Amino acid sequence: MYYVSTRDNRPWPERIEFEETLLRGLAPDGGLYVPDQWPHFPPDYIRAMRGKSYAEIAARVMAPFIGTALSPPQLDRVLAAAYRDFGHEAVAPLREIASDLWLMELFHGPTLAFKDYALQVVGRLFDEALLKRKSRVTIIGATSGDTGSAAIEASRDRAAADIFMLYPVGRISDVQRRQMTTIASPNVHAVGIEGSFDDCQDIVKALFADAPFRAAFNLSAMNSINWARIVAQVVYYFVAGVALGAPDRTVSFTVPTGNFGNIYAGHVARLMGLPIEQLVIASNRNDILTRYITDGTMVLRPVEPSLSPSMDIQVSSNFERVYFELRGRDGRAVTEGMTRFRTTGALPVSTADLKEARRLFAAYSCDDEATLAEIASTWRKDGILLDPHSAVGVAAARVRRSAGVPMIALATAHPAKFPDAVEKAVGFRPPLPARLADLMQRKERIVKLPNDVKSVQDYVRAHARPLKGVAA
Ligand SMILES: *Cc1c(COP(=O)(O)O)cnc(C)c1O
C-alpha cells in the first residue's frame, strides 16, 4: 500500500510507503497522508476475529497498512508489548449501559485516556523504523495538560527517541503535572515554562522553524495527524463490532470529538468492511462539526473553554482527510479549500459535499450543563461514572441511537482524570485506579525555564542524546 498527501496537486502525486508517513507525520506540502486505496476485509475475515485477543485483532487490522515495514512476527511483538501493561485484561472492555447502549472503555492505558491506545504502538513503531536507519529523533511538544503525558508514556525508555514536553508552570493540574514529572526515564524531559500554553506552543514553533537546530536534533512531533495513530485507532472499532455480532449484525458508534482523529478511524473501519450504521460526532459547545452536519456551514468561531478540554478545538485537523474524499481526491481543490478556510474562516462546501457528509456522519452537541446532568444521571440510574468527555458522547448516543442497532459510546478518559467536573456532578471525587494510586507521593523531577526560545534550545542541547553513533 502507498500513501499520498491530501494537498499534492501535481499530475503524478508522490506515493510513499508506511514508514515514511510515520516519520514525516505532516506532508511537506502541508497535507495529511492517506492510503491510495482502501483494504477491504471480506465477512469471513472479520468473523474470524471472534474470540481473539485485542493484540491479535490489532495485528489483523493493521497488517495491510504497514506493508513490509515490519514482518508479521515483528508486528505481533510490537503489539503484544504495547498492550501488555494495560489495566484491564480485555484492553478495551465493553459495558452495557442500557439495552443496546454500550460503553467501550478506552481508558485502561498508562495515562487513562484513549490516546494511549495509539501512542503506545506508535512510539514502538518509531523505534523500529529509526533503529533500522541507525537514526534517532528528538520529540518536542507543548501540552496544556492532557496530551503531554500520553506522548511521554509512549516515548519513555525508547532507544531512538528523546522527548521534551513543555507545559505552562502553574496552569495545569497537579495530577497532569505529576503524570509527566514523575517519569524517571533518562530520555524524558518535562519542562515547565514560566508562561502560558500559547507561549509554550510558540517556543515549539520557533524550534521547528530554526532549520539548523531542527536538522541537528532531527526534531519530530508525533502529533495527532500522524497516519500511524489513525491505523492503531481503527482496531477498537473492529474489537467492539465483532464482540457485538459484526459482520452479521450492524453496529453504531458515538465518538467524543475534537481533532476528528478518533471518529475518522471509525470511518476507515467502515470503508474496510465493518458494517457501521451510524458514526455520531459528539461535540461540546465548540461545535463546528455539529453545526456543519446540521446547518451545512463550516464556520470558525473562537474556542471557548469547557468541562471537556480535550475537545475544545475549532480546526479539526483530521477532517481534511474526509474533505479530500468529498473533493474527489483532488489535491488542488483541497489546497484551495484549506487556504480559504484559514483566510476567511469558512470552508467552501457544496450541496453534494454536504449530502455525502450527512450520509457518513450524524452529530450532536451538548453544553457543560447537559454534560454535568449526563454524568449525574448515568451515575444515579446506571451506576456508571463518566468523565466529562465520555458524558458528551453518552448524551449524544442516547439521542441519536436507533432501535435494534447496538450503539457503542466510546469512553475516552477515566473519570479520575477530570475529578473537578465529576465532583461537581455527583458530589465526590473519583479515586485514581490502583496502579496510579501513589501518584501524589511519587518523586517529581521539576525543571523550570524562563519563557524564551534560547533557554529551551540550550536545555535541549545539553540533554538530548547525540544523533550519531546510535547502536542498533
Ligand atoms: C483527544 C481527546 C478527545 C478528542 O479526540 P480527537 O481524536 O481529537 O477527536 C476526546 N476525549 C479525550 C479524553 C481526549 O483526550
Distance of CA 63 to the CA centre of its chain: 20
Which atom of ligand 1 lies at the shortest distance from residue 146's CA? 15
Which atom of ligand 1 lies at the shortest distance from residue 260's CA? 9
Is 199 part of any domain? no
Q: What percent of the chain has pLDDT over 70?
A: 99
**Strand 161-168's sheet: what is its strand order?**
219-220, 137-142, 161-168, 188-193, 448-449
Instruction: Quote the CA–CA distance of 87 and 423 in Å, as a whole number.
Output: 23
Torsion sign, CA atoms 119, 448, 160, 80: negative
Contact predicate 18/203, CB 8 Å: no
Strands 276-283 vs 362-365: parallel, antiparallel or unpaired: parallel
Query: At which residue does the C-alpha cell 485483532 appear?
Result: 57
Is 237 part of any domain? yes
pLDDT of 125 > 60? The answer is: yes
99 CB contacts (<8 Å, ≥6 apart)?
none
Q: Give the number of domains in the chain.
A: 1
pLDDT of 472 > 50? The answer is: no
CATH of the domain at 421: 3.40.50.1100
Is 376 part of any domain? yes
Give, in order, the Cα–Cα distances in Å from 92 to each of 22, 120, 344, 383.
24, 14, 41, 19
* Complete DSSP assignment for 232-266: HHHHHHHHHHHHTTTTSS-EEEEEE-SSSHHHHHH
Query: At which residue does the C-alpha cell 473519583 appear?
Result: 430
pLDDT of 466 > 80? The answer is: no
Query: Is the beta carbon of 413 within 6 A of some atom in ligand 1?
Result: yes
Is 278 part of any domain? yes
- The CA-based angle 240-242-247, given to 5 degrees, is 130
Is 383 part of any domain? yes
Strands 3-5 vs 33-35: parallel, antiparallel or unpaired: antiparallel
Our mutation pick for probing the ligand 1 site, out of 231, 412, 417, 422, counting the most ligand atoms within 8 A of Cβ, is: 412
User: Could you tell me the distance, in angstroms and rounded to a whole number, from the CA of residue 71 to the centre of ligand 1?
Assistant: 31
Q: Tell me the pLDDT tens digit for each residue of 390-447.
A: 999 999 999 999 999 999 999 999 999 999 999 999 999 999 998 899 999 999 999 9
Neighbour tally for 416: CB within 10 Å: 20
Q: Tell me the pLDDT tens digit for each residue of 257-304.
A: 999 999 999 999 999 999 999 999 999 999 999 999 999 989 989 889
Which domain does 313 fall in, by range? Answer: 92-110+228-426
Which atom of ligand 1 lies at the shortest distance from residue 259's CA? 8
DSSP at 134? T
Neighbour tally for 53: CB within 10 Å: 15
Is 400 part of any domain? yes
Helix or strand run (H / E) with residue 346: strand 346-347
| Alpha helices per DSSP H over 383-451 | 388-400, 419-426
Our mutation pick for probing the ligand 1 site, out of 111, 115, 149, 422, counting the most ligand atoms within 8 A of Cβ, is: 115
Is 373 part of any domain? yes
Q: What percent of the chain has pLDDT over 90?
A: 85
Q: What is the pTM of this model?
A: 0.95
Q: Tell me the pLDDT tens digit for each residue of 130-145.
A: 999 999 999 999 998 8
411 phi/psi in degrees, rounded to 5? -95, 110
Residues classed as catalytic: 115
Contact predicate 69/17, CB 8 Å: yes
Is 419 part of any domain? yes
